[in-house]
Amino acid sequence: MPALGSLKWELFTPVMIALEPLRRRGLRRGLDALEELLPLAGRRVLDVGAGVGTLLAELVHRDCELVAAEPSRAMARLARARFPDVPVHPAPADALSFLPDRSIDVAILAATLHGFTPEYRARVYAELRRVVREAVVVIDYHENRNPLVAAAEWLEGGDYFAFVKRVDAELAARFARVERRRLGATESLRVAWV
């Protein structure tokens, strides 16, 4: 990701910390739905775009081996401090060179993909296909728009508006099979089987 994008996330770290209690409820709901399709116990799970560790806080109780990637130095430092037993690598989602081929059972991207351009998402999908054995899990927005979320995403400058129209087709074009479950008013769980 470009340096300007990294700076944005460095500055956004306090907001991520403030929003964590709200995000954790939704993530818990998403992980519970995922466990009905693919139990995580005993699996090696990669948190892609770990941020401040919000998803890690929900995963640490699920009896899986965790590893994380987070390009923002500030967020990675905080995630490492919160979860010292989880290796948090300073890597962007499209360059997971610290991982050998097919070394991860499940990769989870929670509220991450919608912030990437379509070109960057294509590189991320290719890298995930290289490192993941079983499934890539996406917990992110669907087409129902919440005006507050839409305003925040517009300010963030990500690809949210196009993402909600394209993500299912993008995943279906790159993975063997995709299952989708709605989690609430604005989010879905997507499981893309490798």
**Predicted confidence (pLDDT) per residue in 68-122, tens digit:** 999 988 889 999 999 999 999 999 999 999 999 999 999 999 989 988 999 999 9
- pLDDT for 169: 96
How much is the pTM? 0.87
How far is the C-alpha of 127 from the C-alpha of 33, rounded, in Å? 25
* Helix, strand, coil percentages in the chain from 3-state DSSP, rounded to 5: 50, 20, 30
pLDDT tens, position by position, 154-177: 666 666 678 888 999 999 999 999
Token reading at 172: 């279906």
